[in-house]
Amino acid sequence: MTSNFSSQLIEVNCIADTLELKAIQSQFAKHFVVNRYRDALHIDLPKGHVFIFDYGVVVTWGISAAKKTDLMEDLKAFNTTGPTEHWEVYQFNLVDDAKLSICNDIFTLGAAKTHTLLAISHAFAQSRKLEVFESQAESTITHNRHLAKELATTGNIKLSRKKLAMRRGALFQTKNDIMLRFSLLDVPEYFWDYPATQEDYLAATKYLELTQRIELLNLKLETIHELFEMLAAEQNHKHSSFLEWIIIILIAVEIVLFFVH
């Protein structure tokens, strides 16, 4: 077994909503070999590799904890949303003449070729971004779940029209944020230029269950949509009821005035 790395860890983190790769490239090119791809930046370190994606995900291969800390510190200048503390950690082995194999979060591959590592890193980055979307959708559903129960139990939602509109707006914003960036989970355009590495990417996405998780996220988005429709219907019902009461009161006043005259 051979290894060019000081460590045998793959670490993945979503540190921002978006990152400006051009600015990062200009900064890091002063000290390291930096290559730009369609939506990713590759920093070739003396002992390890770093791939930075424009949708805010960083994937590191085999760099030490100290180097990772320095890297994150440098990236803070390009990060407007603040780093998260959670890193997904995998292991890798480099074995001569071995084909890519994955088992129990251990990736075995034949050589540390940049394009192979980048292909797999695309899958890691998408998985981490998908986790952010999943968390966002789940949080929104959980936050609004009581409304469905309240409507089923009492037939009414005890929210003012303004608060109901704000809740609808928040629901719509969540769905909109996810849907506008959902294309990030498509097969990256990188493979148009390097189709030979797509097989490694597909193997990694299969292991990370991206397809099943995307389908589940679609179901969650549909649930959010149903919540949105439910709140819209309730708001329309409240408004219609309010108008009906105004009409009834006006008719009653007219009848009273008629008899008075």
**CA-based nearest residue to 63, from 71, 75, 55, 54:** 71
**Can you give the three-state secondary structure of 84-114, one letter per residue?**
CCCCEEEEEEECCCCCCEEECCEEEECCCCH
**CA-based nearest residue to 233, from 154, 145, 157:** 157
**Phi-psi region for residue 250, left (φ > 0), alpha (ψ -120 to 50) or beta?**
alpha
**For strand 48-53 and strand 88-94, is the pairing parallel, antiparallel, or unpaired?**
unpaired
Strand-pairing partners, residue 91, are 9, 106
CATH class of the domain whose range is 9-112:
alpha beta
Mean pLDDT calculated for residue range 142-148: 80
Quickly state the pLDDT bin for 88 (edges 50, 70, 90). Answer: low
- Break the chain into its structural domains and give their ranges: 9-112, 126-260
> Cα–Cα distance between 82 and 186 in angstroms, integer?
26
| pLDDT (tens digit per residue) in 173-216 | 777 777 777 777 888 888 888 888 899 899 999 999 988 988 88
3-class secondary structure, 10: strand
Judged against a pLDDT cut of 70, whether residue 142 lies above it is answered with yes
Report pLDDT for 31: 87
Report pLDDT for 51: 95
Highest mean pLDDT: which range of 102-106, 132-136, 146-150: 132-136
Return mean pLDDT, the chain: 80
**Contacts of 70 by beta carbon, 8 Å cutoff, 6+ apart:** none
Highest mean pLDDT: which range of 22-36, 143-157, 229-243: 22-36
Mean pLDDT calculated for residue range 56-76: 86
| pLDDT (tens digit per residue) in 89-102 | 666 665 555 677 78
